[in-house]
Every structure is written in structure tokens, then in C-alpha cells.
Amino acid sequence: MNKAKVIEESGKLEGAKELSADIFGVAYDDRFINEALKEYLRKNFTGSAKTKGEVRGGGKKPYRQKGTGNARQGSTRTPLKPGGGITFGPRPRVKINKLSKKKKAAALRQALSRLNNEEKIYFAQSLGFKKTCDAAKFLNQNFKKGSKIIIVTEKQDREFALPFRNIRNVSLECAADLNMRKLIYCDAV
């Protein structure tokens, strides 16, 4: 069942194209895809707050230790005072559980295989639309309204991308930039 439908520019189905079993015939593993998806969605943790040692100022003791009646203070930048540092604020953290290149490639193959099994992969011989309305008409003929569609091209081409750029739920991807996360959430490729 490694075949994909071929669509003409007019919207007619032209036939089927044979797909490679190495890429589109891989067994799908939910746990593996879940692990890969968590890696894509993991945050970078770039938030940072200054501690009392990093806040500007506060080097000199504000007043002497004894005899003033005030509580003893060593710095004006203590977390207890306004303008002081934050006690346990956010710090930048490094991602530890990175997926290897082989695992990322395997996840991409599994996502493509899943789309192939659900018959959501289509090929178009030549889509030479000049206007957005023509491109939208083509997509409305062949796909349900509101479907999330990824159009994959061999290389980036501005002329090809212009008609599709302003259509909702349609994204254009270069084949080299395609990732598993986008494929999981799309309705057609």
C-alpha cells in the first residue's frame, strides 16, 4: 500500500505514484513518537533573574552593625529589600535529553508512514498557480475545508510559494526542513 495519489493542476486524480518502503512503510510506534514529540515541544528555559550577588550596587554596609536600633544589614541588595536580588528565581537550563540524529530520522519516517497508511499523502506534477484564489480553489476542490495542509517542495522557490502564502492552515516546507512535529498535526501532505 505504498502508493500516493497524483493530482493534476485542474484537480483531477491522475493515478498513483509508488513510494519507497524504506521511508513510507515503517511500523508506527506511539511511545517512540511521543518521546520525539516531547523533545520537539520542550522549552529552552532561557528565563533568568539576578540574585543578590548579581544585582548592581550593594557593596557597602548600609549602616553600622550596632547602636542604631535597626536590624543588622550587610547589603542594600538583599532579597528582603526593594531593588534587591531574587532568592530562587529562574535560571537558564540546558536541555539534557536530546534525541540523536538517527532517532529524529526514524521519527520522521514513522510520521510519514502513518500519513501514508491513512492515505493522506498526495503528489502534484506541476502547480504553476499565479494567484492565491486559484491556489485556494485547487485546495478546496481536493481537501476538506479547514484541513491543515503541508506542501513540500524540493527546494525553496519564491514564485511557487507566493500563491499559497496567504492561505490559512497551509504551510510550505522545503523537504530538508520537514520535521516530525508538523507532520503529526497535519491532515494532508
Give the pLDDT of residue 188. Answer: 86
Residues 121, 28 share a domain: yes
Residues 108, 51 share a domain: no
Residues 179, 141 share a domain: yes
Q: How far is CA 169 from CA 11, 24, 25, 128, 148, in A?
A: 19, 24, 27, 20, 5
Decide if 4 contacts 19 (C-beta within 8 A): yes
Give the pLDDT of residue 1. Answer: 63
Residue linked to cell 495519489: 5
Residues 150, 177 share a domain: yes
Q: Into how many domains does the chain fold?
A: 2
Give the pLDDT of residue 69. Answer: 92
Decide if 93 contacts 79 (C-beta within 8 A): no
Residues 180, 149 share a domain: yes
Give the pLDDT of residue 67. Answer: 92
Q: Over its length of 189 residues, how does the chain's per-residue pLDDT go in tens digits?
A: 678 888 877 777 777 888 878 888 888 888 888 888 888 887 777 889 999 889 998 888 988 999 999 998 888 898 988 988 999 998 887 766 678 888 888 888 888 888 888 888 888 877 778 888 888 888 888 888 888 888 888 888 888 888 888 888 888 888 888 888 888 888 888
Residues 28, 107 share a domain: yes
Report the number of secondary-structure helices (H) and strands (E) in the chain.
Answer: 6, 5
Give the pLDDT of residue 88. Answer: 92
CATH number at residue 142: 3.40.1370.10
Residues 147, 124 share a domain: yes
Decide if 79 contacts 89 (C-beta within 8 A): no
Structure pTM? 0.70
Decide if 40 contacts 72 (C-beta within 8 A): no
Kindly state the cell numbers that stand for 19: 513510494
82 is in which domain, residue-wise?
Answer: 44-94
